[in-house]
Amino acid sequence: MQILTLTKYIKADLIARLSRDELSPDALTLAALSDHYQVSVTPIYHAINELIEEGYLYREKNRRLCVNQEKMSDAQTAAKSPQPAPPEDHFKRITDDLLTMSLNGESVFLREMASAKKYDISRTSLRNIFNRLAGDGMLEHVPRRGWKLRSFNQHDLDAFIEVRVVLELKALDLAKESLDKGVLQKILDGNQVPGTDEEPLQIDNSLHEYLIKQSDNYYIISFFDRHGRYFDLLFLWESNDRDAAIQEIQQHQRILTALINEDWTTAREELELHLRSNHPVLSQLKR
């Protein structure tokens, strides 16, 4: 069975969604589709070009993408047919595996050939993923030895949190005058505790990135860009724990409500509490 590529999956899914009239014209942009499918613009770009070549889409003089309704009428059967599952996300699978190893305290060297064989991908694809994880601080390339995995260390986490508290509180102070209440409300709406245990959680963790960006301080932004990526991966992994995720949502709600009300004292207090106490799972790993 031929493996479905990401471009082919996106193309097939777009045809089905367009034929069901599920996409507005504003959604037909590289940025919007990249955000929807949570991928880079490259597979979106190729999928769009193929749809244009096959007549499903066309560009107006202003370069705006439009749907060819006559062609779409031929795709009604596609809308009713079960859509293929997306191709396996190798990056997520490899990241999850390495996070588990890191949290278990393993500091090992990974060989490209063996790892590519394990995940059934090419060495080039694997190297691209490893380079990305190296940029996130999880791996370090050591010549002639392979890729060294970063081992989770509780003292390292505690040290990062101490610096994070100082810099993020400073970011809040600097960002006060430039915070958009509409943006804050949108983030607040994205943090909702479900009414039942069966309902999925809604978490929007973009508040931290927003405060840091709005601080307009190069050194604060640079610190989190250089040193925060590895911990972001750990925090994302931790949010898989439902109780920890619910605590995170509730803390976000209190911070955002205070920010919208311009209650800066409460906002600072709730933000510091959140930064120091929001790691109930990681804090139990004594490494």
Query: Integer distance in angstroms from the first to the last C-alpha of the chain?
Result: 44
Give the separation between CA 250 and CA 277, rounded to whole angstroms: 12
pLDDT of residue 179: 96
DSSP string, 78-136: HHHSPPPPPPP-HHHHHHHHHHHHHHTT---EE-HHHHHHHHT--HHHHHHHHHHHHHT
pLDDT of residue 286: 55
**Angle subtended by helix axes 229-238 and 218-227, to nearest 10:** 60
Give the separation between CA 11 and CA 90, rounded to whole angstroms: 19
pTM of the model: 0.65
Q: Where are the alpha helices (DSSP H) in 204-241?
A: 206-215, 218-227, 229-238
pLDDT of residue 161: 94
DSSP helix, strand, coil percent of the chain (3-state; round to 5): 65, 5, 30
CATH of 154-284, one of 1.20.120.530, 1.10.357.10, 1.10.645.10, 2.40.128.30: 1.20.120.530
**CATH of segment(s) 90-149:** 1.10.10.10
pLDDT of residue 106: 79
Query: Would you give the DSSP letter of residue 4?
Result: P
**Angle subtended by helix axes 41-53 and 30-37, to nearest 10:** 120
CATH of 1-78, one of 1.10.150.120, 3.20.20.150, 1.10.10.10, 2.40.30.10: 1.10.10.10
pLDDT of residue 38: 65
Whether the Cβ atoms of residue 150 and residue 107 lie closer than 8 Å to each other: yes
Look at residue 160 and give its three-state secondary structure: helix
Look at residue 197 and give its three-state secondary structure: coil
Give the separation between CA 79 and CA 88, rounded to whole angstroms: 23
Cβ-count burial 83-115 (b if 16+ within 10 Å, e if not): eeeeeeeeeeebbeebbebbbeeeeeebeeeeb
Look at residue 223 and give its three-state secondary structure: helix
Give the separation between CA 75 and CA 86, rounded to whole angstroms: 20
Q: What are phi and psi of 237, to 5 degrees?
A: -60, -40
Whether the Cβ atoms of residue 57 and residue 69 lie closer than 8 Å to each other: no
pLDDT of residue 123: 85
pLDDT of residue 1: 28
Q: Comparing 1-78 with 90-149, is the CATH topology the same?
A: yes
pLDDT in tens, the chain (287 residues): 233 467 777 888 888 888 777 777 778 887 778 777 766 667 788 888 888 888 888 888 777 788 887 777 665 554 455 455 555 578 888 988 998 899 888 789 999 999 988 888 888 888 888 988 898 889 999 988 899 999 988 899 999 999 999 999 999 999 999 999 999 999 999 898 888 877 778 888 899 999 999 999 999 999 998 899 888 888 888 877 888 889 999 999 999 999 999 999 999 999 999 999 888 777 776 54
Q: Where are the domains of the chain?
A: 1-78, 90-149, 154-284
